[in-house]
Amino acid sequence: MLLEFPNSCLIFDEVHAYNPRVVGLILGTAQLMTRWGARCLFISATLLDFLAKLIKDAVHGVRVIAPNPECPSDREVLDKKRHSLEIQDGTLLDHI
């Protein structure tokens, strides 16, 4: 199975959602795989700064691609309202 990894592409999604032990295993795997020529992609809509630093420290040469608030099209995405909440009196059962 390990013969499949050299020069492969690995995608790690929403790493922040895992427990610290699993994140450590993922970062160790990414380190090993990049030494074998693999490319690693970490994707998340909410990548925390400390986790981005851990990834950068573990996987040397990794680039971070994030929206640029100075770019109008990126600013449009950043400003987009994603959720609408309405608070109502009563219990959940009152509103079924």
Q: Which residues of 12-47 are buried (b: 16+ CB within 10 A; e: fewer)?
A: beebeeeeeeebeebbebbeebbeeebebebeeeeb
Please give the Cα distance from 51 to 19 (Å, whole number). Answer: 12
Q: What is the mean pLDDT of the chain?
A: 89
The 10s digit of each residue's pLDDT in 57-79 is 988 878 778 888 899 999 998 89
Determine the pLDDT at residue 27. Answer: 94
Radius of gyration of the chain (CA): 19
